[in-house]
Structure 1
Amino acid sequence: MELRQLQYFVHVARMQHVTKAAEELHVAQSAVSRQIHRLEEELGVSLFMQKGRNVQLTPVGQLFLRRVESIMQDLDRAVDEIHEFFDPELGEIRLGFPHSLGIHLIPQVIAAFRLRHPNVKFRFKQGMFASLIRDVIEAEVDLAFISPLPDKNERVCGEIVLTESLYAILPLNHPLAGEDEIELSQLKEDTFVLFRDGYSLRPIVWDACRAAGFVPRIGFEGEETDTIRGLVAAGMGVSLLPEMALSHTSSIIMPAIVKLKDPGVTRTIALIRRAGEKPSTVVRLFHDFLLDYFRDMNPR
């Protein structure tokens, strides 16, 4: 079994078309067909079946694809590690994070890291709680910021790096807009603007309201902090947002921002990675930098 055969197999499986795969590989269609045929002969199974002008993986082909993709990822990582062994500055870091961190925190930490390591490359991927965990497990990203720490998932590991307060945001004409701080229970009669299901801030706000003695009445739902903030500023309801989402904004229309009285509402932000896997040199370099960065930001 040759590496070339596996590469051709993966391309055909992804494209579901031999000719298109050959074009992407810049080789003749006959060469691809021949290598796939040899691979099937060696394995003693059919990996593909014809479906019109396309091809489709057989059940055993689907099983084989998962294994081959894992092998190819390990091989790519091995090549990267060899390069990084001699020069970590040539490496690439794939970082996942929720949208609420992309406005301020991510640019801030990347800028600080690149002052020391200007040649390291980054690839970013935004996502929700469940998708970020999946991206880490499936090696789509090397590290991910997430809230909260998924401590019940044995396939990822990590540590809390930051705890931040949530503030009440209110329309400017709200009766409580001029207060320095309020009790969350004072908003029990208001309509709330919340993130939709799947976003980690939603259960934080929901649970905080329940702890304050009421179930929030939801008037509108959004997917981004800018949307939540804008809807509140437009008078569509009230909400809670983390401090990070309320600073360094260029928005023309802004809501009133009011502190919540102790015990207040907080969220934790964690940095996670795949459990049981040794990260590449450049990823380990960035990971250690982040731990030091947040430790300095929050001295004990």
Structure 2
Amino acid sequence: MTLKQLEYFKEICKHNNFTKAAGELYISQPTLTLAVHQLEEELGVLLFVRKNRRATLTREGEFFLDRITSILLDVQKLEDEMRYLAEKKNLVRMGIPLMISVKMYPILFKDFLSEFPEIQIEISESGALGIIKNIIDETIDIAVTSLDHDYSQFLVERKLFESRICFCVSRQHPFAGRASIRFDETLKEKVVMFSGGFYINKLIQSHYDRLNAKPNSLLSTAQLYTIKSLISNNIAGAFLLEDCILPSDNIAAIPLQENIVSEIGIISKKGARSYPGAEQVVRFFEARFPQNLLP
């Protein structure tokens, strides 16, 4: 029994006619008739009753059609999946949070792609917690993001570096000249917060909770540009990763004396299928930040 015989059989059932089925399959009717005859001989049953040019299924034929329908659907699904894998081998679906993108995009789009131009990068931007969910749901393959060890059971984590969380203010702000600042000194300052899904919120909120305090929040937004604009115009401060502040920003990033840091690393889902392009990205970043790799 061959797959082609099953496809021939299914086409005859579709038209209840050998001649029409042969035309749709672009083969001669004698070739189709012979294939079905050989199939019937192999199975030891009659699949069709042929009368007045009409092919009617026997009881055995109906049973056979019911069974092979799911088989042919599975074969089609497998073919589609294999074609997808072939197309995807050099496509990397990658998540990078906004703050980390400031540091990682030049490395990824300049250094990595100049070395591996055949690899396609498809970026998903959101907060770290949203990106972790996408990794677990397998809507993205890998991510460079803050490591939230509450999800370690689901993830393969490779630490790359640490980034300090700073209290960021305008360079015209009285705090701007400070070498460091205590967290409690920021309580009276208006702050802009990231909206839900950002891991930095989780870290910062834990420090507010320890002081039994709440942020003096002016605004919550998912836009890093908006936050930086409000800071640089001396309207509010914000807690940001040190690595997302550029020299061109009118922003002073003041380290916290509590030394709050975020571990940045590459994550993927445990047990998920691995693709060559994604593996190449992982190797590239591991080589770029070799001193901080986890054992």
CA contact (8 A) 1:225 1:241 kept: no
Q: Which position in structure 2 is the counterpart of 1:256?
A: 252
Aligned to 2:44: none
Deviations 1:209-265 (A, max 9, x none): 34456432212112122211211222332221111210254x5xx23332322x322
SS of corresponding position for 1:169: strand
Equivalent position to 2:283, from 269, 278, 288: 288
Q: Is the 8 A contact 2:100 2:145 kept in 1?
A: no
Three-state SS of the structure 1 residue aligned to 2:277 is helix
1:113 & 1:293 partners in 2: Cα distance?
Answer: 10
Alignment of 1:112 with 2:111, yes or no, is yes
Where do 5+ consecutive residues of structure 2 fail to align?
A: 8-64
Question: Against the structure 1 CA distance between its residues 133 and 237, is the aligned structure 2 distance closer, same or farther, given a 3 Å change threshold?
Answer: same
SS at match of 2:151: coil
Q: TM-score, normalised by structure 2?
A: 0.65
Aligned residue for 1:104, secondary structure, equals helix
1:93: how far off? 1.8
Match of 2:270 among 265, 270, 275: 275
**Cα distance change, pair 72–99 in 1 and its aligned pair in 2 (3 A):** farther
Are the equivalent residues in 2 in contact too, given 1:147–1:269 (CA < 8 A)?
yes
**Secondary structure of residue in 1 paired with 2:177:** coil
Q: Is the 8 A contact 1:98 1:146 kept in 2?
A: yes
Q: 1:296 Cα shift?
A: 5.0
Indicate conservation of the 8 Å contact 2:130/2:198, yes or no. no
- What root-mean-square deviation, in Å, do the aligned CA atoms of Structure 1 and Structure 2 show? 3.6
| Paired residues of 1:149 and 1:158 also in contact (CA < 8 A) | no
Percent identity between the aligned chains? 15
1:121 matched to 2:120: yes
* Structure with the greater alpha carbon radius of gyration: 2
CA 1:161–1:190 in structure 2 vs 1: closer, same or farther (change >3 Å)? Answer: same
Map Cα deviations across residues 79-127 of structure 1 (whole Å, 9 max, x no partner).
358xx6xxxxxx2222111122222312223422233322222211212
Matched to 1:257, the amino acid is: A
Task: Confirm or deny: 8 A CA contact 1:149 1:269 kept in the other structure.
Answer: no
Residues 69 and 109 from structure 1, CA distance in 2 versus in 1: closer, same or farther, beyond 3 angstroms? farther
**Count of aligned residue pairs for this structure pair:** 231
Alignment partner, residue 245 of structure 2 = 246
**In the aligned structure 1, how far is the partner of 2:156 from the partner of 2:163?**
21
More helix by share: 2
Unaligned runs of 5+ in 1: 6-40, 46-64, 85-90
Q: Does the C-alpha gap of structure 1 residues 183 and 69 become closer, same or farther in structure 2, counting only changes over 3 Å?
A: farther
The answer to whether structure 1 residue 223 and structure 2 residue 222 are counterparts is yes
Tell me the distance in 1 between the aligned counterparts of 2:67 and 2:224. 52
For the pair 1:79 / 2:74, whether they are aligned, the reply is: no
Q: Which amino acid aligns with 2:233?
A: A
Amino acid at match of 1:122: I
Q: Is 1:180 aligned with 2:179?
A: yes
One-letter amino acid of the counterpart of residue 258, structure 1? I
Residue 25 of structure 2 aligns with which residue? none
| Alpha carbons of structure 1 residues 98 and 72: separation in structure 2 relative to 1, 3 Å | farther
Is the contact made by 2:245 and 2:251 (CA closer than 8 Å) also made in structure 1?
no
Looking at structure 2, the residues matched to 124 and 172 of structure 1 have their Cα atoms a distance apart, in angstroms, of: 32
Distance 1:265 1:229 in 2: 20
Moved >4 Å (runs of 4+): 41-45, 67-74, 296-300
| Cα distance in 1 for residues equivalent to 2:108 and 2:212 | 38
**1:18 alignment counterpart:** none
CA gap 1:171/1:43 in 2 versus in 1, 3 angstroms: farther
**Residue correspondence of structure 1 range 1-300 to structure 2 within 5 A:** 42=66, 74-76=81-83, 78-80=85-87, 91-152=90-151, 154-211=153-210, 214-247=213-246, 249=248, 251=249, 254-261=250-257, 263-296=258-291
Counterpart code for 1:285? Q
Question: Residue type of the partner of 1:75?
Answer: M
Could you tell me which amino acid in structure 2 is paired with residue 188 of structure 1? Answer: L
**Closer, same or farther: CA 183–134 of 1 in aligned 2, 3 Å:** closer
